Chain A
Amino acid sequence: MVRGDFSLPSLAGGWLELGAEGIDRHDPQEDFYGLGAGSLEDNRVSFLFDRREVHGRAVVKPGGGLHIGGRLGRIATKVGAGRDPRFPSIELRFGDADAPGLAEQPDFSVGDLFAFVDRRDQPGNPRGGGYYGVTWRRYSDLDGDRYSFRVLDADVQHFIPVFDKKRVFALRGRVISTDARAGQVVPFYFRPTLGGSDSLRSARDFRFRDTNVLVLNAEYRWEAFSGLDMALFTDFGKVASRAADLDLSNLEHAYGIGFRFNTYRAVFLRLDLALAGFETPRLFIKFNKAF
């Protein structure tokens, strides 16, 4: 990935941030198992997913951790044959009917509005406070007006410390819902996913994919010593083709234990081992926090 960012972060006495960003991503081995909760492990394929994105942003920061802003930009996408030698390429197993957008990828204009309150004490390694955000985003198909859609992403995180923040109950709920008007379809590569180190840890990254996703995470974290936190975690989640189906029934789950090597300000190494749940045991080694 190549990323460039220009930012004027403290305009108007620190109230206003203006910025522009350009990203060039090249992911030749993205995983795809099919759409929906019933997708099969045996159907795993890989695909190439390239996108180039430029956007400008304006963020108002009135204080108290509140950020309100918007972005406008453009994305060029390309999906091609996967290059993971362990699995078939996507076109060998799926077609445009069960992987919408596989046949052609338009350019998109993107606009979003977001608002969040970030009251975490240390965003890189929170032990108190919370993050409460919502983003509404619109993708407009610039080529054929077939793949225009909207995304609503709500993310709530709350951290309850006890014993001088040496013990923390960390809670998170996230809903991502996409929506396309009649005659439009959400391309498979932009559909939200479930599975991986920061969502459902009993499943591989991108294991489930559909137009709607619900993820619930709860962790009990405790400090073993200054450089290591441990965690008992549980995750629940599901994907659904209709937002109305994002209820608490038939949730996939994960239970496990984590080891987080950290500084006061950040987690720099995380080992999360899911011991029970969808496909376990499953170990994730990451260089960031879970949430």
Chain B
Amino acid sequence: MHTRHLMLTLALAGALVAGGATRAAGPKFFGDDPISRDPETQDASRVQPIEMSQQFDFVENSFLGAGDRSPLRANNVNTVDEVPDSSWFTNRAGAAGWSARDRARGPDLGSGPAPGTWTIVAAKTEGITPGMTVRDSAGDVYFVKFDPPSNPEMASGAEVISTKFFHAFGYHVPENYLATLQPASLVIADGTRIADEDGRLHPMRTKDIEAVLEKAARNADGSYRVVASKALAGTPVGHFRYYGTRPDDPNDIYPHEHRRELRGLSVFAAWLNHDDSRSINTLDTLLKDGERSFVRHHLIDFGSTLGSGSTRAQASRAGNEYIWESRPTLVTMLTLGLYVRPWVKVDFPEYPSIGRFEANYFMPREWKPEYRNPAFINARPEDRFWAARIVAAFPDDAIRAVVESARFSDPSASQYLVDTLVARKTKVLMAWLNGTNPIVNPSLSAAGLLTFENAAEAAAVAKPAEHYTVEWSRFDNATGTHDPAGQETTVTEPRAQAPEALLASKPQFIAARLRAFRADRPEWAQPLMLYFRQADAGWKLVGLERNP
């Protein structure tokens, strides 16, 4: 086993036993810290497909307390509190050359299904979401999904927009293309079978296609606007849960409820109203990397995001209350319905292609998915701060570019969606860039001048701090001990000079403990620990702990 991998595994075990520390005995920082990629080096070829019951997932998460609720810091962050690239996540926000155009292209590598005949290889008419799996004339397989007749363009628009957002955030997602389906171009592959209402399979016939199309919004020319979701690379091996680990995947060592990118997903989900963020809308695939097999973890199916509820406009409850919540339910029952939940009274503008999506009532801190999600529940202020910074890195022009990729026929609907997303973004940043110490981008010059920025101020969701305090120390990496250097100092600008005596002692590591102060932002006063290692050209940031 790779040394770091082994150390991380042991450290994780130690952390779980100790209930706090994130590293076992040994140096706090390794020579390659901070790592930018998780060392997922193990062969996962023994992974087997996992079946999951949607109903049990609801029961387990709603009533059985699934997942570890210990107040642990996220396990999979590197030493500077960032998420390394992995089979779960790729850092894209703020990456060099990552333009609005890149965001609008999203994960798409091509242009969607090839024109010509689409051969149906599977379909479903049962359930509430009709769809079919087709092989295009180029031989690529797509799952085709439709808009409901009541809301043309809605589900398909939400799907392509949110796919691009979640891709830009850093998640693995399918290539989802807007396409036009011509019924005349459909043929049924030999041997294709379809289940009837009772679940009995029978050979698919033309009338089964008609049954699927009957539930879909049709264009005036008889064609259908669809989302064509390209089959993911690799072999599907089931959904991932938002807690625990996959026992047959040796690389899956961090309990999912303690993964930063799954905790932080709660912030993205709130922004985009992805209330359907649950296991059923994830997919693991098994891929090859040379001789080694590995599992890649995807988010899929964004038809129930923004104002779309897939088959109808989103319910007003979405994002505001779990499917099951005892208190409001009992109050409503006992008051004979005279108690009306406040979100019931929210007005939504009439945009059939948007559905129900608004920013006035939206309260990021109160936002909820369909039912409890262990990773979301475990999210700490520093997890949400991490995600909020990614949201902050999404400029308004990029939001517009992504929305326009949905090609809504009503320009006012498109504009409304942009405006709503921007307004919700501001609320998200207001809530979570201010939810903890907002200091970011620290740097220590060779001369010992510490500079940093205030993420909340930079995002224009807070006024500047009234002052900052800094406590310097010499840090012993071997023992993990601090030797204070002078008294706490106070500065009013985001810069501070390290004590001369500390620099003169030529330490290998310098640590600084920073706090920000503003009367109306008490959360800012939570400490931020910084660790700098002596490097050739000065000092390199090797450690950052928000709320240590």
The answer to whether A222 touches B344, judged by C-beta atoms less than 8 angstroms apart, is: no
Contact with B along A220-243 (1 / 0, CB 8 A): 101111111010100000000000
Separation in Å of the A6 CB from the closest CB of chain B?
14
Most B CB within 10 A of own CB, among A166, A232, A264: A166
The answer to whether B340 touches A163, judged by C-beta atoms less than 8 angstroms apart, is: yes
Contact with A along B301-339 (1 / 0, CB 8 A): 000000000001001110000011100110011001100
- Of the candidates B315, B329, B345, the one whose C-beta lies within 8 Å of that of A163 is B345
Prevailing SS type, chain B contact patch? loop
In the assembled complex, the Cα of A235 lies from the Cα of B478 at a distance in Å of 81
The answer to whether B317 touches A224, judged by C-beta atoms less than 8 angstroms apart, is: no
**Is A164 close to B, CB under 8 A?**
yes
The answer to whether A222 touches B324, judged by C-beta atoms less than 8 angstroms apart, is: no
In the assembled complex, the Cα of A167 lies from the Cα of B344 at a distance in Å of 10
Residues of B within 8 A of A226 (CB): 315, 317, 323-324
Contact with A along B430-446 (1 / 0, CB 8 A): 00000000000000000
In the assembled complex, the Cα of A134 lies from the Cα of B214 at a distance in Å of 29
The answer to whether A230 touches B329, judged by C-beta atoms less than 8 angstroms apart, is: no
Closest chain B residue to A167, Cβ basis: B337
Residues of A within 8 A of B344 (CB): 163-164, 166
Residues of A within 8 A of B336 (CB): 220, 222, 230, 232
In the assembled complex, the Cα of A163 lies from the Cα of B343 at a distance in Å of 10
Contact with A along B344-378 (1 / 0, CB 8 A): 11100000000000000000000000000000000
The answer to whether B323 touches A227, judged by C-beta atoms less than 8 angstroms apart, is: yes
In the assembled complex, the Cα of A222 lies from the Cα of B339 at a distance in Å of 10
Closest chain A residue to B324, Cβ basis: A225
- Of the candidates A220, A224, A232, the one whose C-beta lies within 8 Å of that of B332 is A224
Residues of B within 8 A of A220 (CB): 336-337
Given contacts A163-B344, A163-B345, A166-B344, contact A225 B337 (CB under 8 A): no
The answer to whether A225 touches B345, judged by C-beta atoms less than 8 angstroms apart, is: no
In the assembled complex, the Cα of A226 lies from the Cα of B332 at a distance in Å of 12
In the assembled complex, the Cα of A176 lies from the Cα of B471 at a distance in Å of 87
Contact with A along B76-96 (1 / 0, CB 8 A): 000000000000000000000
Residues of A within 8 A of B317 (CB): 226
Closest chain A residue to B311, Cβ basis: A264
- Of the candidates A224, A232, A264, A265, the one whose C-beta lies within 8 Å of that of B329 is A224
Given contacts A164-B316, A230-B333, contact A225 B340 (CB under 8 A): no
Contact with B along A253-281 (1 / 0, CB 8 A): 00000000000110000000000000000
Separation in Å of the B206 CB from the closest CB of chain A?
13
The answer to whether A225 touches B325, judged by C-beta atoms less than 8 angstroms apart, is: yes
Separation in Å of the B3 CB from the closest CB of chain A?
50
Separation in Å of the B211 CB from the closest CB of chain A?
11
Residues of A within 8 A of B315 (CB): 226
Residues of B within 8 A of A264 (CB): 312
Residues of A within 8 A of B332 (CB): 222-225
Q: Can you list 29 pairs linking A and B with CB atoms under 8 Å apart?
A: A163-B345, A164-B316, A164-B344, A164-B345, A166-B337, A166-B340, A167-B337, A220-B336, A222-B332, A222-B336, A224-B329, A224-B332, A224-B333, A224-B337, A225-B323, A225-B324, A225-B325, A225-B328, A225-B329, A225-B332, A226-B315, A226-B317, A226-B323, A227-B324, A230-B333, A230-B336, A232-B336, A264-B312, A265-B128
In the A-B complex, the 10 residue pairs with the closest CB atoms: A222-B337, A225-B329, A224-B333, A163-B344, A226-B323, A166-B344, A224-B332, A224-B329, A164-B344, A164-B316
Q: Taking A164-B316, A220-B336, A225-B323 as given, write out 11 further A-B residue pairs in contact, using a Cβ cutoff of 8 Å, ordered by the A residue number.
A: A163-B344, A164-B345, A166-B340, A220-B337, A222-B332, A222-B337, A223-B337, A226-B315, A226-B317, A232-B336, A265-B128
